[in-house]
Chain A
Amino acid sequence: MRDAAGLTSASRAQRQPRGGIGAAINASFRYWSLLPAILIFAALTLYPLLNLMRMSVSTIDFVRGAEVWTFTPLRNLESLASDDVLRPAVVNTVVFVAVSVAFEMVLGVALAIAVAGLPRAKRIVRTLAILPILVPPVAIGSMWKLMYNYDFGIFNQALVAVGLMPVNWLGSTSIALASVIVVDIWHWVPFVFLILFAAVEGIPPDLIEAAHVDGASRWQTTRLVTLPLLRPAIVVAFLFRAILAFKVFDEVFLLTAGGPGTSTELVNLHLYKVFFEQNRLGYGALLSLAVIGAIVAFLLVSRRAALAIGRKS
């Protein structure tokens, strides 16, 4: 016997799932298959984040070997509002990110284009150029601290040798932040260079040749052909560097520990002191959430800007 769709009862039985539970499992299998990934995501990301949120509204003390949590949201907010070190730390962080990333982008782009244009020895130059990113940050901090040393550092010895006055690189409030930024630029220009060098190498040579045939000078070719084609890579490098610059810690910690005064105090350094030196876990968590929020906001704005740039190009 056939139904309205023209199927026999035998073929209907063949097409329908065999049992109730089996049918349900089959129907929802694609969702169940996501479960391991969801569980891992929850364990590694959501749980720590939720725990951080819980910490941020609490005061955590250790009494007789046990953790004691007290719900004190206002107390932590009050600490945030009255934190005199946080304000200069935020300003310094913004200056640090803006200046260091700007210099790194300009130098990185210039270096990438220059090295890509080399007729030979590109590999050697590329390898040498990326060496600073291979040096551990602790070694970088120690090395630059020695070079910046007022009495024995190489910079001041060179200045004195040519008859100039030594400079108080890390001890002057007006120079210390700039000195730290210089180290960051030295450390991270190779990173920008590496990303952009690959992008420059990926530009089809016929485009450049066509520009030359059309009579474009080297500068015009760079400005009107190479740079527009590099835009997506520049955006990626910029986002990476900006996020990493926001999170800078080790170099500043080793070079100045935030001093003199608050002249090189950065948000992450302050966060470290609150968490690990002052042992204020609740307030530290609130500060962490604020930092995460700031980075997310920056990413959203940057994404919009990147999309706009992408549309232009």
Chain B
Amino acid sequence: MIPRNWVVGIVAAATVAFAMSAFAQKAFLDVGKQPDITILIGSTPWYPAYEKVVGLYEQQTGNHIKLDVTPFGNILEKARNAARSGQSPYDLMMLDTQWTIEFYEGGFLSPLTDIDPSFAMPKEVLTYGDSGYWNVQKRWRTANGGKLMAYTPLGNVQLLYYRSDVLKQAAIAPPKTWNDVMAACTKLAKPPSMYGFVARGEKGNGIRYDWQSLMLAEGANVVKDPEAGDYTVTINSPQAKAALDLYINLLKRCGPPNYGSLGQGDVIQLLATGKSALGDVVTAAFAGFEDSNKSAVVGKLETEPLPAGAGGAHGAVIGNWNAVVPKNTSDAQKKAALAYSRWFLTYDAQRAFAEAGGIPNRSDVYTSDLVKNPKYRWMPAYLETMKFARQELGYAEGAQVEQILGLRLNQALIGEMSSAKALNTAAREIEALFKKNDRHTGMLPALAE
């Protein structure tokens, strides 16, 4: 005979299990039974949050998702191989916004509305500079005449991080302009124990991306009006030079001596270890700064939108990821990928993503009660930044332009050439590139070197 307390225990356990399964059944969105899908995703700082949300989807819907987690440097090649093969092993691929042009232009993707004409982006989802749309005629990412090719699973922008305790002690207000940053960091820098300001100076994407925020704030552009087909190179303007001189001064005066090779990991490390008072870093880094296992400055770092330039304008470059469906996967798989995407774009899923440490893509999550929680105190700065942040290098030659800028800016930073020479050189090289591709191009008169 079974003892009475055993029966009570079994009944209690069954009740809890039933209650849990009932909770698990309550899906954020009913997407029905779908075939298994495979997603290509990078092993990025936001991956753990994404994995948790995928787990929630599987738990709620009973559908299965396989995640192919790939180091950043290999994602592009895996995506290229998948898209160029007979049958893609992936049903959804997470691509860096800079890479998407190649896939849009190459015709490797299925427009989301071709898979299901009723699919529409919820109006609360942030647009991220229309990076998910592609206008074939204009060869440009725009919702105006463009087809919906992708949505943003994660949208990064740079924020200005500052040590509230250090600034308070020095009676310095959070900087609102880049000149404020210069004044504050000069005062706070006490190397090697404390640097005033850190940002990326490493050759390539790092310096190009971080510097462009200052460039935009100073009112400069790389190209005149690419959306309208005017590829006149304007990177060697006096405004761009002012922005570059300011960036060089900031890093030389306030950064560590290895400013010319500082990468994202170094910048985050210097902030997390309390060795820098100010820093220009991606939003996705915030969760790490609040983790006591990784950070010595828990609760001490605050965020502001990136500061304004001399004319009062702000600038920030969007560095988002795009979720795309390859053309060469079966219709059933495409529909399953889209079903998951609908679920992922719901308010509840995005809220769960934020709670897991991700950066949600819906504006209503940023205006929810989450903002009152100190853990999410970066949200107002992020939402404010999205008002002026924009996509850059959104043309087919973007990858080559990035290489040119990444090298020349770095050479100016480390003193291999003057800022004027670096910008003139970059302008000539970018113009030559556009000429080769029969673009309507030209360049500004050279700056005095």
* Chain A positions near chain B (C-beta within 8 angstroms): 61-67, 75, 82, 84-85, 149-152, 166, 168, 170-173, 176, 256-262, 273, 276-280
CA distance A84 to B411 in the complex (A): 13
Q: Is the CB of B203 within 8 A of A65?
A: no
What are the 4 closest A-B residue pairs judged by CB atoms, nearest first? Answer: A171-B258, A259-B203, A62-B106, A64-B107
| Contact (Cβ within 8 A) B407 A65 | no
* In the bound complex, CA of A252 to CA of B414 (Å): 19
Is the Cβ of B257 less than 8 Å from the Cβ of A65?
no
A151/B410 in contact, CB under 8 A: no
B407 contact from A62, A66, A261, Cβ within 8 A: A261
The answer to whether B102 and A168 have CB atoms under 8 Å apart is: no
Q: CA of A214 to CA of B201 in the docked complex: distance in angstroms?
A: 64
Known: A152-B269, A259-B203, A259-B261. A65 touches B192 (CB 8 A): no
Q: Are the CB atoms of A171 and B203 closer together than 8 Å?
A: no
Given contact pairs A150-B258, A277-B403, A280-B400, A173 touches B416 in the complex (Cβ within 8 A): yes
Given contacts A62-B108, A63-B106, contact A256 B261 (CB under 8 A): yes
Contacts A62-B102, A280-B400 given; indicate if A171 touches B108 (C-beta within 8 A): no
Contacts of B50 in A (CB 8 A): none
Docked complex Cα distance between A176 and B261 (Å): 10
Structural contact, A62 and B258, CB atoms closer than 8 A: no
Docked pose: A276 CA to B74 CA in angstroms: 10
Does B105 contact A261, Cβ atoms closer than 8 Å? Answer: no
Please name the residue on chain A nearest to B261 by beta carbon: A171
Chain A nearest CB: distance from B297 CB in Å? 15
For A82, list chain B residues within 8 Å (CB).
432
**Cα A198 to Cα B105 with chains together (Å):** 56
- CB of A62 within 8 A of CB of B105, answer yes
Residues of A near B106 (CB, < 8 A) are 61-65
Q: Would A63 and B105 be within 8 Å (CB), given that A151-B270, A258-B203, A261-B410 are in contact?
A: yes
Q: Shortest beta-carbon distance, B76 to chain A, in Å?
A: 7
Beyond A67-B84, A168-B257, A259-B260, 15 additional contacts (C-beta under 8 Å) are A61-B106, A64-B106, A150-B258, A151-B275, A166-B192, A172-B258, A257-B204, A259-B204, A261-B410, A261-B414, A262-B411, A277-B403, A278-B399, A278-B403, A280-B400
- B residues in contact (CB < 8 Å) with A: 76-77, 83-84, 102, 105-108, 192, 201-204, 256-262, 266, 269-270, 273, 275, 327-328, 399-400, 403, 407, 410-411, 413-414, 416, 429, 432, 436
A277 to B80, CA, bound (A): 12
- Do A65 and B327 touch across chains, with their CB atoms under 8 A apart? yes
Given contacts A151-B270, A151-B275, contact A261 B256 (CB under 8 A): no
Q: CB < 8 Å: which of B76, B107, B410, B429 contacts A259?
A: B410
30 contacts between A and B (CB under 8 A): A61-B106, A62-B106, A63-B105, A65-B108, A65-B327, A84-B429, A151-B192, A151-B256, A151-B269, A151-B273, A166-B192, A171-B257, A171-B258, A171-B262, A172-B258, A173-B414, A176-B261, A257-B202, A259-B202, A259-B203, A259-B410, A260-B414, A261-B203, A261-B410, A261-B414, A273-B403, A276-B76, A278-B400, A278-B403, A280-B400
Q: How far is the CB of B79 from chain A (nearest CB, A)?
A: 12
Q: Which residues of A contact B407 (CB under 8 A)?
A: 85, 261-262
Closest CB of chain A to B425's CB: distance in Å?
A: 8
- Closest A residue to B258 by CB, please name it: A171
B432 near A171: Cβ-Cβ < 8 Å: no
Query: Are B403 and A63 interface neighbours, CB within 8 A?
Result: no
B334 CB to nearest A CB, Å: 15
In angstroms, Cα B256 to Cα A172, docked, is 12
A71, chain B: closest CB distance, angstroms: 15
Q: Which residue of the partner chain, among B256, B273, B328, B399, contacts A279 with CB atoms under 8 Å?
A: B399
* Contact partners of A84 in chain B: CB under 8 A: 429
Cβ of A150 and Cβ of B257 under 8 Å apart? yes
Partner of A261, one of B258, B411, B429: B411
Give the docked Cα–Cα distance between A278 and B400 (Å): 5
Chain A residues, Cβ within 8 Å of B266: 149
Q: How far is the CB of B177 from chain A (nearest CB, A)?
A: 28
B77 touches A276 (CB 8 A): yes
- Give Cα A273–Cα B170 distance, bound, in whole angstroms: 45
Give chain A residues whose Cβ lies under 8 Å from the Cβ of B429. Answer: 84
Complex CA–CA separation, A152 to B258 (angstroms): 12
- Given known pairs A62-B107, A277-B399, A279-B102, the reply for A171 and B192 (CB within 8 Å) is no
Chain B residues within an 8 Å CB radius of A261? 203, 260, 407, 410-411, 414, 416
Q: Which residue of A lies closest to B207 (CB)?
A: A259
In the bound assembly, the distance between CA atoms of A65 and B102 in angstroms comes to 11
Distance to closest chain A CB from B366 (angstroms): 34
Instruction: Decide: B403 and A260 in contact? CB cutoff 8 A.
Output: no
Q: Given the complex, which residues of B lie within 8 Å of A150, measured CB to CB?
A: 256-258
User: CB distance A260 to B102 under 8 Å?
Assistant: no
> Which residues of the partner chain B approach A166 to less than 8 Å between Cβ atoms?
192, 257
Chain B contacts of A62 at CB under 8 A? 84, 102, 105-108
Report the Cα distance A178→B149, complex, angstroms.
47
B328: chain A residues at CB < 8 Å are: 65
Shortest C-beta distance, A148 to chain B (Å), equals 9
B424 to chain A, nearest CB (A): 13
A192 vs B168: C-alpha distance when bound (angstroms) = 59
Q: Which of B203, B270, B328, B429 has the most CB of A within 10 A?
A: B203
Which residue of B259, B399, B403, B411 is within 8 Å of A171 (Cβ)? Answer: B259
Chain B residues within an 8 Å CB radius of A176: 261
Minimum distance in angstroms from A279 CB to a CB of chain B: 6
- Chain B hits for A152, CB < 8 A: 269, 273
Question: How far is it, in angstroms, between the C-alpha of A277 and the C-alpha of B108 when the chains are bound?
Answer: 18
- B108 nearest in chain A by CB position: A65
Complex Cα gap A170–B260 (Å): 9
Q: How far is the CA of A67 from the CA of B269 in the complex (A)?
A: 43
Please measure, in the bound complex, the distance between the C-alpha atom of A277 and the C-alpha atom of B397, giving whole angstroms. 11
